[in-house]
Amino acid sequence: MLRFRRCTIMLLIAAGPILGCAAAEAPADNAAAAVFAADSAWAAAAAAGDLDASVAALAPDGIMFPPGAPPVIGRSAARQFMQEAMAIPSFSVRWQSDTVVVAESGELAYAIGRSRYTFPDSGGGVDTMYAKAVSVWRRDSDGTWRAVLDIWNESPALMEPILPVAR
């Protein structure tokens, strides 16, 4: 009987970290889902030309790094940048984040994705640019996830996720 108790206690001690890890995954999974939702809402707002919702997705101290241009720092500069882009005839943007990784703290995350932009070409037609992107997200004190860094650069058309889809 004593041996059974010792084995049971040893099993519980050994299983504790495993069970603890399983329990710890739920908040990270919830955070990843929340970042995916915030990112998808931002993408939908940008695709629809909704300037206010697009700007609101960025943290007040957020920074955007557009290709071939200086950094866009803060919401005011981001509003101007986005407003100018959205005013360009035939401009459009679509993106999809495929992977979100949440920091152990649950306060920061990054998303990796693909995007497509259209804009006028020099001959009066429409040109398409594909890009790869990384955005860094921070959870505000009210629980809202906002992008603090957003960088993208030109890439060949990426039909498949850059990393395996992890949601």
How confident is the model over 137-150, as a mean pLDDT? 97
pLDDT in tens, 39-85: 999 999 999 999 999 999 999 999 999 999 999 999 999 999 999 99
Query: What confidence score (pLDDT) does residue 8 get?
Result: 35
With respect to residue 16, please indicate whether it lies within any of the assigned structural domains: no
Number of domains in the chain: 1
Residue 120 pairs with which residues in a beta bridge? 126
Please give the backbone phi and psi of residue 138, each rounded to the nearest 5 degrees, phi first.
Answer: -130, 135
Q: Report the share of the chain in percent with pLDDT over 70.
A: 80
Q: Are 57 and 146 in contact (CB under 8 A)?
A: yes
With respect to residue 20, please indicate whether it lies within any of the assigned structural domains: no
With respect to residue 84, please indicate whether it lies within any of the assigned structural domains: yes
Domain that holds residue 96: 25-155
Token readout for 99 is 């992977």
With respect to residue 102, please indicate whether it lies within any of the assigned structural domains: yes
How confident is the model over 86-100, as a mean pLDDT? 95
With respect to residue 7, please indicate whether it lies within any of the assigned structural domains: no
**One-letter amino acid identity for 165?**
V
Q: Are 133 and 39 in contact (CB under 8 A)?
A: no
Write the CATH number for 89.
3.10.450.50
Neighbours of 50 (CB within 10 A): 16
With respect to residue 77, please indicate whether it lies within any of the assigned structural domains: yes
Cα gap 107→139, rounded to integer Å: 5
With respect to residue 167, please indicate whether it lies within any of the assigned structural domains: no
Position 1 pLDDT exceeds 80: no
How confident is the model over 93-121, as a mean pLDDT? 95
